[in-house]
């Protein structure tokens, strides 16, 4: 639980490190960093007021057999500076007016200094939460009926409900790992930011505010029908940067396929020639130019064109125009048998 209280001290140390301030350097008494340090010292004095029950079974259910239904709930949030996650057990019986919550644990981690988007940080927080929930579930001896992940990021939910291969590697990897254990429609739910108590952890809340985190989200005490609802259809924004590159790649591949499948243009225009032998002769001369070395190409061009083409080149030109005629007659059929020799 103290991880939420250590967010602001960690942020302070990070800022001191970025400013290259040594340990023995006195801070400006009227500066922002000194004011932040004084707030942290004052807040740490209130840590003694925080109480957490060691026993996860609510007092109302101690000695009761069989135990009521137990479900595992986790919430995540991310800000510019840190990510926070928290986990609770929800105990409920049909005859109870409201469910009971037991605080399990909370974690906080500073975000990397490398600039990244808030939705990416939200997705990373969900990944950390999914790993921690799996660890907690395996460690508990209770029979967990179901589990839920709560997040206030609709963008992250849209990624999780999409196909991982449709995104860039950062999102695709995390979506793939999360959805291996959690059903993105059934197990991952949306909650508004004002109802997400883990927002206090990710933003470095004060000690008195951490009591709300220990008590858990108020909506979880209500019946499932009264929980915040998540839209069934959460489409990915077409302008989403994580999909933008994927669509560009597809567009490039599509253009290449269209170019490859289109009818190739002839090397010369046959309508400019009055006879078949003349067309073959000019085509053979064009083929002869292809064999010229790149060096001194312009010097040898005139000499090569003035020569009479060989019978091999004339035959090649004849076969070339036969293939062109077949393409004109039945381009689709030629494409199917293009790998076979004509004669």
Provide the residue-wise pLDDT of the chain in tens; the chain has 343 residues: 677 788 888 888 888 888 888 888 887 776 788 888 888 888 888 888 888 888 888 888 888 888 889 999 999 999 999 999 999 999 998 888 889 999 999 999 998 888 889 999 999 999 999 999 999 999 998 899 999 999 999 999 999 988 767 788 888 899 999 999 999 999 999 999 999 999 999 888 888 888 899 999 999 999 999 999 887 776 666 556 566 444 444 444 444 444 444 556 777 788 888 888 888 888 887 777 766 666 555 656 566 566 677 788 888 888 888 888 877 765 555 455 555 554 4
Locate 337 and state its tokens: 């048998």
**182-201 core/surface letters (b: 16 or more CB in 10 A; e: else):** bebeebbbbbeeebbbbbbb
Across-strand partners of 149?
74, 188
Give the SS3 label for residue 102.
strand
Cα–Cα distance for residue pair 109/125, rounded to 1 Å: 9
Category of 109 on φ-ψ map: left (φ > 0), alpha (ψ -120 to 50) or beta: beta
CB-based contacts of 176, cutoff 8 Å, min separation 6: 164
Helix, strand, coil percentages (3-state) for the chain, rounded to 5, are 50, 15, 35
CATH superfamily name and code, 2-248: Ribonuclease H-like superfamily/Ribonuclease H (3.30.420.10)
Q: Are strands 82-92 and 100-110 parallel, antiparallel or unpaired?
A: antiparallel
Instruction: Answer yes or no: are the C-beta atoms of 214 and 103 closer than 8 Å.
Output: yes
The confidence score (pLDDT) of residue 28 equals: 76
User: Are the beta carbons of 216 and 91 closer than 8 angstroms?
Assistant: no
Q: What is the dihedral of CA 225, 231, 232, 233, to 10 degrees?
A: 170
Q: What pLDDT does residue 270 have?
A: 80
Helix, coil or strand: residue 55: coil
Task: For residue 99, give the DSSP letter.
Answer: -
d(CA 305, CA 286): 8
d(CA 164, CA 173): 7
Measured CA distances, 151 to 10, 16, 96, 272 (Å): 24, 31, 27, 70
pLDDT, residue 130, reads 96
Residue 300: how many CB atoms within 10 A of its CB? Answer: 13
Calpha distance 52→187 (Å, rounded): 27
Residue 343 is predicted with a pLDDT of 43
**Helices (H), ranges, 146-228:** 154-160, 169-181, 199-202, 207-215
Q: For tokens 């259910």, name the residue.
A: 61
Domain with CATH 3.30.420.10 in the chain: 2-248
- Distances from the Cα of 45 to the Cαs of 11, 38, 106, 206, 208, in angstroms? 19, 11, 20, 11, 11
């Amino acid at each position: 639980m103290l991880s939420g209280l250590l967010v602001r001290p960690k942020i302070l140390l990070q800022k001191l490190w970025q400013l290259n301030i040594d340990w023995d350097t006195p801070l400006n008494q009227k500066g922002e960093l000194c004011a932040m340090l004084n707030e942290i010292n004052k807040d740490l004095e209130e840590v003694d007021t925080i109480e957490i029950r060691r026993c996860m079974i609510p007092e109302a259910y101690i000695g009761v057999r069989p135990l009521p239904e137990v479900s595992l709930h986790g919430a995540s949030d991310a800000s510019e500076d840190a990510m926070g996650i928290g986990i609770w057990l929800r105990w409920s019986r049909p005859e109870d007016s409201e469910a009971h919550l037991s605080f399990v644990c909370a974690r906080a981690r500073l975000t990397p200094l490398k600039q990244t988007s808030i939705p990416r940080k939200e997705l990373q927080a969900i990944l950390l939460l999914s790993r921690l929930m799996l660890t907690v579930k395996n460690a508990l001896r209770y029979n967990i009926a179901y589990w839920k992940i709560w997040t206030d990021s609709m963008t992250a939910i849209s990624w999780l409900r999409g196909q991982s291969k449709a995104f860039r590697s950062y999102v695709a990897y995390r979506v793939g790992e999360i959805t291996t254990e959690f059903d993105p429609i059934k197990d991952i739910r949306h909650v508004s930011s004002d109802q997400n108590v883990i927002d206090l952890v990710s933003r470095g809340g004060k000690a008195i505010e951490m009591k709300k985190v220990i008590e858990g989200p108020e909506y979880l005490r209500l019946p499932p029908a009264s929980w915040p609802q998540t839209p069934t259809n959460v489409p990915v924004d077409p302008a989403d940067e994580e999909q933008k590159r994927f669509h560009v790649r597809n567009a490039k591949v599509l253009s290449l396929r269209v170019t490859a499948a289109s009818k190739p243009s002839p090397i010369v225009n046959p309508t400019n020639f009055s006879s078949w032998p003349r067309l073959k002769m000019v085509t053979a001369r064009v083929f002869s130019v292809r064999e010229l070395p790149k060096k001194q190409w312009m010097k040898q061009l005139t000499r090569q064109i003035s020569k009479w083409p060989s019978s091999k080149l004339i035959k090649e030109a004849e076969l070339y125009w036969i293939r062109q005629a077949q393409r004109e007659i039945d381009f689709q059929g030629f494409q199917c048998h293009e790998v076979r020799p004509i004669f």
